[in-house]
Structure 1
Amino acid sequence: MKQTPAAPLPPPDERRRLREAGALTQAQVAERVGVSLETVQAWESGRTTPRGRTRETYAQLLRAVVDRTGGQEPEEAQDMTALQSTVESARTLTPAQAFDALYAFCAPALVRQTFLLTGRRELARESVERAFQHAWQRWPEVARDRDPAGWVRAAAYDFALSPWHRFRPRYRHPEPPPSDAFDRALLEVLLKLPPTQRRTLVLYDGVGLDLPETAAETEASTPAAANRLLDARTAVAARLPDLSDPTELHRCLAELASTERLRAAKPVQVRDGGERRARFWTRAAIAFTVALIGTTALTLRTAPTQYEPAVPPGATVRGVPPRMAPGPLSEMDLELREKLRTQMQSGPERLVPQGT
């Protein structure tokens, strides 16, 4: 009997990337495939591999995600297909090709996620570009990371939520809100949340990470991340009661992110920008070092070469009467002053004062 070949599946990391690109949670994938949540988590972590009909259903779901995403974003679908076709030969890719594949696969969705954190379209694009530029500068480290997409996502979120943006003139005024009234209300509620709660909500209910991964990416313990998530959901439900259901909240977050037609720059432009930024800071560091060396050399040139003692304090010279300060008159001085006042002046006429 001829055995039917098993349906091809991407590696575990790419399974999760496809699920995130399709705005699906692990619970939704488990429901559609007909397995438990723990089984989907094991598939995405690489602990187990689906078999039989379950494998075919899971592979069809992933292909449907690629097709559906391709219908909305043709360029993204082409990039994801190219990424999947080069997964097996990833070791033969040059660093630039590997970076371009990661950027093409993650950047479009990451820009939309960052928009949920900031409410600013230009800041979302800038944050993602800066994160990938930083990744390109440290590409050997990022390429060996267990989750390169998570590394870039954490860097983009950190830059987007930096409090220093409020001092930049270009970001002092708010951008036009979404056209839909419900989307405006949801975005307003998100922006009123504390940054830690907003980030946790987007990662868990928006991206679809599980609680331990969300806690690790936000640098918090699992109980702390759970409390932040509950507080954020309570705040959103208090303003928008229709979003008290986590599934509905996830759907609305995905729709809000997909409504904004945000385009990321080309990977070549990002790499060139990162290299220009690296060259600028390298030249600035060299110029500062040269200035410091010149200042040190000038100081050594003009500094005294021998010890010069300080001027000693003044001392009293013998034979010179000390300076006397004015004080009360003695008896002799008082008698002389009285005599001068009472007796008539004698002498040449020119020395005698004339009365008026």
Structure 2
Amino acid sequence: MGVARETVRAWETGRTTPRGRKREAYTSLLAELATGAADMPVRTEATAPVPPLSEPRPEAPATPLTPAQAFDALYAFCAPALVRQAYLLTGRRELARESVERAFQLAWQRWPEVARDRDPAGWVRATAYEYALSPWHRFRPRFRHPEPPPADAPDRALMAALLRLPPPRRRTLVLYDGVGLDLPETAAETEASTPVTANRLLHARATIAARLPELSDPDELHRRLAELASTERLRAAKPPTVRTGSERRARFWTRAAIAFTVALIGTTALTVRTAPTHYEPPVPQGETVQGVPPRVAPGPLSEAEVALRAKLREETVRGPERLMPLIR
């Protein structure tokens, strides 16, 4: 085909579409495979197939769907794979389920926008990745302690190697080697340039290969990532439960916003009512007054003061200008 294996994998999962001569060659290849499929013997496996990490591509319905039906269809196609991807990013089963549910709750709140998006699955995946890799989860009591690792030793080694990667490199590795996106799509989803994305991918692969040399081959790494994610029983909630939770959360935040607005209006009205209507100059600071004699304690009266006191006492009894209360 003249392209990398990751590109063919992206065609098979429906993430991208070939164009031009590649489209004609790929169509001829599929026609030959379909023609020879009837003559090929059926191959049976003793073990169950490994669920893919990438989201399957939903087919276009024959009749128009209601918003709830379209949301449920998107959730049924994408949620199982997204939970496995979030588990590879975080190493936590409960956080993986919570990330996917929160992403779909936000998608239901913004469903007109998501429904018109060219890639609704990519929109939900990017939202789930952002929530799963948020650094604020480390402050939550339920996520302070690590969860039990996988039971098998190879799976534990691979999960430990993944969690040692920085979040941007871990996300790039899961998108490119796990989901099967090509380099430009991975760069667009991680909001980085193509050279930066390629550098992150090379460093992530080198780190994994240094710890696990048997995973130096990208195809083997892709297979082991799918096996690691499929060994855990990760199930998401039902679509009606997610939609109900989204509507309940939207009502709660709407009421909280209304209550905050009412409180803000009441506080503003009270401030306007009690605020002064004219300018009041500030009271100046006190100053020291000079020339005032110091206060002295009472002492013995002088002769003049004694005479004045006697005169006042006599006038209080005799004089007509004063009144003296009588005690009965």
**TM-score, structure 2 length as denominator?**
0.75
Where does residue 216 of structure 1 map in the other structure? 188
- The letter for the 2-side match of 1:279 is R
- The letter for the 1-side match of 2:194 is T
Per-residue deviation, 1:73: 9.7
Name the structure with the higher helix share.
Answer: 1
Unaligned runs of 5+ in 1: 1-23, 34-39, 62-67, 75-79, 325-356
1:187 aligns with 2:154: no
Once the two structures are superposed, the pairs formed by residues 1-356 of structure 1 within 5 Å of their partners are 25-27=6-8, 42-43=17-18, 48=23, 51=27, 54-55=30-31, 57=33, 83-84=58-59, 87-89=60-62, 92-314=64-286, 321=291
Where does residue 314 of structure 2 map in the other structure? none
Change (3 A) 1:136 1:200: same
Partners of 1:147 and 1:258 lie apart in 2 by: 25
Change (3 A) 1:296 1:59: farther
Secondary structure of the structure 2 residue equivalent to 1:146: coil
Matched-pair identity in %: 71
Aligned positions, number? 274
Partners of 1:308 and 1:195 lie apart in 2 by: 59
Per-residue deviation, 1:308: 2.2
- CA deviation profile, 1:28-87 (whole Å, cap 9, x unmatched): 588xx9xxxxxx954389x946545634637999xxxxxx9xx7699xxxxx79x53xx1
Partners of 2:75 and 2:181 lie apart in 1 by: 20
Please say if residues 50 and 226 of structure 2, whose CA atoms lie closer than 8 Å, have aligned partners that are also in contact: no
Where does residue 321 of structure 2 map in the other structure? none
Per-residue deviation, 1:234: 0.4
Secondary structure of the structure 2 residue equivalent to 1:43: coil
User: Greater RCO between the two (CA within 8 Å, min separation 6)?
Assistant: 2
Change (3 A) 1:261 1:168: same
Per-residue deviation, 1:155: 0.3
Secondary structure of the structure 2 residue equivalent to 1:174: coil
- CA deviation profile, 1:136-195 (whole Å, cap 9, x unmatched): 111111111111000000000000000000000000111111111000000000000000
Per-residue deviation, 1:275: 0.6
Per-residue deviation, 1:251: 0.6
Change (3 A) 1:26 1:183: same
Please say if residues 50 and 230 of structure 2, whose CA atoms lie closer than 8 Å, have aligned partners that are also in contact: no
**TM-score, structure 1 length as denominator?**
0.70
Where does residue 301 of structure 2 map in the other structure? none
Partners of 2:194 and 2:34 lie apart in 1 by: 29
When the two chains are superposed, the root-mean-square deviation of aligned CA atoms in Å is: 3.1
Please say if residues 187 and 194 of structure 2, whose CA atoms lie closer than 8 Å, have aligned partners that are also in contact: yes
Change (3 A) 1:242 1:151: same
Partners of 1:55 and 1:295 lie apart in 2 by: 72
